[in-house]
A and B are shown apart, each in its own frame.
Chain A
Amino acid sequence: MKRVVVRVALIVSASVWALGAPSWASAQAATSGVAAPMSAGREAAPMAEDPKVEARLIDISPELRCLVCQNESLASSHAELADDLRREVRVLIREGKSDQEIKDFLVARYGDFVLYRPEVKPLTWVLWFGPFLLLVLAAVFLGVYLRQRRALPAPAALSDDERARAKQLLKD
């Protein structure tokens, strides 16, 4: 009985971990299955004039999600909206905005969803700490289970007869 409980607890926590791990972890691995209403499969626009602006754009955009394709970052997306958003981010960079201000600009319009690493706040606590909580729970279950198993009497040693029979069975 106990064994079943522990095994189930382990399986459930593992699968909840896999399902509920922060989306930035699974999203980047998964390929996009979502229809992209505005992406037309074009080439990404060439790099703009100012290399300093581009360097910062390259720095910040992997943290930002392309809304249309969802599983691509703003850095890698070829969708048209991503082009437009990169253009806006360039403008903000030229205005001397900090990374935080740029992120705030996008979050105010598109929500936390644009961030691959959502901010840690009460609404996202489950996302950030849930997997660790499950891990701790599973560890507690495992500890209890191991302790109880240790309390069981050790299995009796085999007699010579039994050993001979086991050998016979293994031979067949």
Chain B
Amino acid sequence: MKKVLIPLVLFIGLVGFLAVGLKRDPREIPSPLINKPAPEFSLFTLAGDAKFSPADMKGKVWMFNVWATWCVACREEHPVLVAFAEKNQVPIVGLSYKEIQPQDEAYKAPFDVKLALARERSQVWLKRHGNPYVTSVMDLDGRVGIHYGVYGVPETYIIDKAGVIRYKRVGVVTPELLADKILPLIAELNKS
């Protein structure tokens, strides 16, 4: 009896470890930026010549959402963000990430040309799909993305009143995630 039992228990243990390992998303890498100050930057916005920096949001809980018109998953996420924005819970700031891609002809064009093209494309896209953003900043070369540890689009951050990153989501924000995780966190952050 024992002869069977011991290997069986060990085997079940091993299967247990493997099962847990299989269910975890290998692309979801824990961000070291949680509970760290959101990296500073100053970038042109989508709308005009004004620049935006995270310091402008001090005193507010806000959402920072990385997106691009070429990003297919963003199209899936977008209606969720639009519906969320209508509830006016927190301001959503967009980070237009590398709108001009290397395969685009304009990739090697001067900065101004790229910026104008990226703005035009983004505005057309937002007109068609709805605009959840209070403002969207243009990260043409992806440098701000690197400071925020972006490695796939979409990504979403929740930043608290003191400018500290409290949450990061890699991948699409779903209604379930909003209800179960993000909204309770926002409520908690708004209290303090």
Contact = CB atoms under 8 A, between A and B. Distances in A.
Interface in A86-132: 88, 107-113
Interface in B30-71: 30-33
Interface stretch (B114-122, B142-150, B182-190): B142-150
Contacts of B33: 108-109
Interface string A22-35: 00000000000011
Contacts, number: 71
Question: Which range holds the interface residue count of chain B?
Answer: 20 to 34
A85 B147 CA distance: 11
B32 A107 contact: yes
A37 interface: yes
A83 B27 CA distance: 19
Chain A interface, DSSP helix/strand/loop, else mixed: helix
Contact of A70 (B26, B143, B146, B147): B26
Interface residues of A, number: 30
B67 to A, nearest CB: 13
Given A84-B142, A109-B147, A40 B102 contact: yes
A15 B14 contact: yes
Contacts of A110: 29, 31-32, 149, 151
Contacts of B32: 107-112
Given A5-B6, A12-B10, A68 B102 contact: no
B153 interface: yes
Interface of A: 1, 4-5, 8, 12, 15-16, 19, 34-35, 37-38, 40, 42, 67-68, 70, 80-81, 83-85, 88, 107-113
23 contacts: A1-B2, A4-B7, A5-B6, A8-B6, A8-B7, A12-B10, A12-B14, A15-B14, A34-B27, A35-B27, A37-B73, A38-B153, A68-B151, A68-B152, A84-B141, A84-B146, A107-B32, A108-B33, A109-B149, A110-B31, A110-B149, A110-B151, A112-B32
